[in-house]
Amino acid sequence: HDALPISPTVQTPTANHPGITRLSSTGGNSMGLDNTTAAAFLPADNFTLEFVVRPNGHANAAYYAGAWDSPAFPPTNGIYIEGLAADTNWFLVTRSGGTQTRVDTGIAISNSTWYKFQIYRKDASTIACIVNSGSEVTSTTNIPTSALGIFFGINVSSGTQTYDLDFWSFRDNITRF
């Protein structure tokens, strides 16, 4: 997903962050990396998503990492962590049919700080997340049932803002037999 004719850029590695990809966008525009067309998994699966991210420009941008069904901001269906421009903390979001539940992670958003996000299915009716080894937070409402794709994106309200991705992984613990 790319609302502008720009591409992610590779950044110089830093200690413990060897593979930094940067999204950069300007006011009123958005940019993301996604495979929402491929719809990678079903939320009912036993999945785990992990991202290592760094926001830069939080007061003027919203940041997202997780899974959703389209490159729209916000999606119709999704499970993700977001930090909106007005938020002081990161939030776990479960969104189904355009209705969402937001759960405060208790972890503050700070520019130029690295965060590790873990999002996973805890049990048959619960989605959970942990930010930077903090406390687990959960949501049991508005959990989507349609297939989702992996998404990482930024939606900028003013100025030029960036969002760095150092690592992401997806595990789907499928039981075939």
Q: Would you state the pLDDT for residue 74?
A: 87
Low-confidence ranges of the chain (pLDDT < 70): 1-7, 36-38, 174-177
Q: Would you state the pLDDT for residue 166?
A: 95
Q: How many CB atoms lie within 10 A of CB 42?
A: 13
List Cβ neighbours of 60 (8 Å cut-off, separation of 6 or more): 27, 85, 156, 157, 158, 159, 161
Give residue-wise pLDDT tens across range 89-122: 999 999 999 999 999 999 999 999 999 999 999 9
